[in-house]
Structure 1
Amino acid sequence: MGAVIEPSSRVFDVGGATGVHSRWLAAEGHDVTLIDPVLAQVERANAVGGFSAVVGDARDLPAKDACIDVVLLLGPLYHLIDPEERMAALREAHRVLKPGGVLFAQGIGRLTAFTDAAIRGRFENLGADDPTSCEPASGRT
């Protein structure tokens, strides 16, 4: 990220929680505003200092059109389950970005946690010997 962001950029860290990314971006000299819907997260972020933190929503960012250099959208896209809400957050990020601005966005699919647990073998004794039965599989009580 650091190699892409121009020096002294104005950055929105949308869904930034307690400021994991905001901290290092502010330390690099950027003007960072963290926006998160959870008051307790915003209060913890404000206690860190070096950047501002406000309660807000990824679908309604507190900025005029085309005035932000960089938007981080690294949490809202997997907390917003409805596809239209995800699109609203992406449209809103696009709205506030200056022409040529940079958007860093990340989403996680609905089955990511299930897939991870299955790959790591964290499901024990799934199902019954007879998948149509409501009785426990043999050997289990």
Structure 2
Amino acid sequence: MPTVIESVSKLYGRISQLESQRLADHPMEREITLRAIRKGLSSASASGTGPKRIADIGGGPGKIAFALADEGHDVDLIDLTPELIRLAQTEQDQRRAAGNRPLLRSIAVGNALDKSALPEGAYDAVLLLGPLYHLLEESERATAVSHALELARPDGGLVFVAFVTIDAHLRDVAMRNPGKIVELKEFYSKYLIDGRYEKFEPGQEKPTVQSFHTRPDDVRAFFAKHFADSLQLVPSTSPILFSWWSCGQPRES
């Protein structure tokens, strides 16, 4: 079944405070992600050495967006979940009141699958660090990346994407509740094949959790299939995410 966008939004609405605290509780993920972004922004394909214009799509409460703003970049933030956007706006308001902290250029509710109000071809970098592992259908993931490419500068703009790996999820389950894999043997047998992690509450037709997990080779195959003519891929890994940054136009390896 296609992604139930409403369910994803409701999930993060329920856990908005936890999501806001997550990168503070897991600073390694935050710092590895920022390091990968900095590496891309300093590459030869990025425009100049000064501040960059960045779109953070699905950036939640803006922890990465605000960190990039603190480094001098001009950042627009959108996210699917109104509760997370309200948290980002609260931090924006606090920064504005303090008068000495960089602000985001804009903050708004938005969907990676829809044509956003952000200007096409205007961004040195577009971040898709959250949406792709909540989109169950390959066609949906391809649409999200295509939209990001339309926002990136056509002469070498960067698109940063992140996926959750199947191995990362299984490690997490093994640490927290190893018996779960045996108890849900049928579920995990299917999960190992298609990477779909869906949870339904008793009596509910719509899922409460929808997530897509994958493997590095499958990520390469996805980009080779859909974007071989428009992207140059450079991998960056962490224990939690398999992240890539990619150029708006191909270049020599």
Q: Calculate the TM-score normalised by the size of structure 2.
A: 0.46
Q: Is residue 81 from structure 1 mapped to residue 136 from structure 2 by the alignment?
A: yes
Q: What SS does the aligned partner of 2:142 have?
A: helix
Quote the residue 1:20 is aligned against: 63
Q: What SS does the aligned partner of 1:120 have?
A: helix
1:124 deviation in Å? 2.3
Aligned residue runs from structure 1 range 13-92, under 5 A: 13-49=56-92, 50-51=103-104, 52-59=106-113, 60-92=115-147
**Structure 1 unaligned blocks of 5 or more:** 128-141
In 2, Cα distance between equivalents of 1:29 and 1:124 = 47
Percent same amino acid at aligned positions? Answer: 30
User: Measured at CA, do residues 84 and 48 of structure 1 come closer, stay the same or move farther in structure 2, by a change above 3 Å?
Assistant: same
Give the counterpart of 1:105 among 153, 156, 161.
Answer: 161
User: Measured at CA, do residues 124 and 24 of structure 1 come closer, stay the same or move farther in structure 2, by a change above 3 Å?
Assistant: same
Q: Which amino acid aligns with 1:43?
A: R
Q: Deviations over 1:93-141 (max 9, x none)?
A: 011100211111011246752x2245437222835xxxxxxxxxxxxxx
**Structure 2 unaligned blocks of 5 or more:** 1-36, 42-48, 93-102, 184-253
1:13 deviation in Å? 0.7
In 2, Cα distance between equivalents of 1:3 and 1:78 = 23
In 1, Cα distance between equivalents of 2:77 and 2:89 = 9
Maintained 8 Å contact 1:78/1:109: no
In 1, Cα distance between equivalents of 2:143 and 2:81 = 19
In 2, Cα distance between equivalents of 1:117 and 1:44 = 27
User: Measured at CA, do residues 118 and 57 of structure 1 come closer, stay the same or move farther in structure 2, by a change above 3 Å?
Assistant: closer
In 2, Cα distance between equivalents of 1:121 and 1:58 = 31
User: Measured at CA, do residues 118 and 26 of structure 1 come closer, stay the same or move farther in structure 2, by a change above 3 Å?
Assistant: closer
Q: Calculate the TM-score normalised by the size of structure 1.
A: 0.79
Quote the residue 2:233 is aligned against: none
Q: Which has the higher helix share?
A: 2
Q: What SS does the aligned partner of 2:177 have?
A: coil
Q: What SS does the aligned partner of 2:86 have?
A: helix
Count of residues paired in the alignment: 127
CA RMSD of aligned residues (A): 2.2
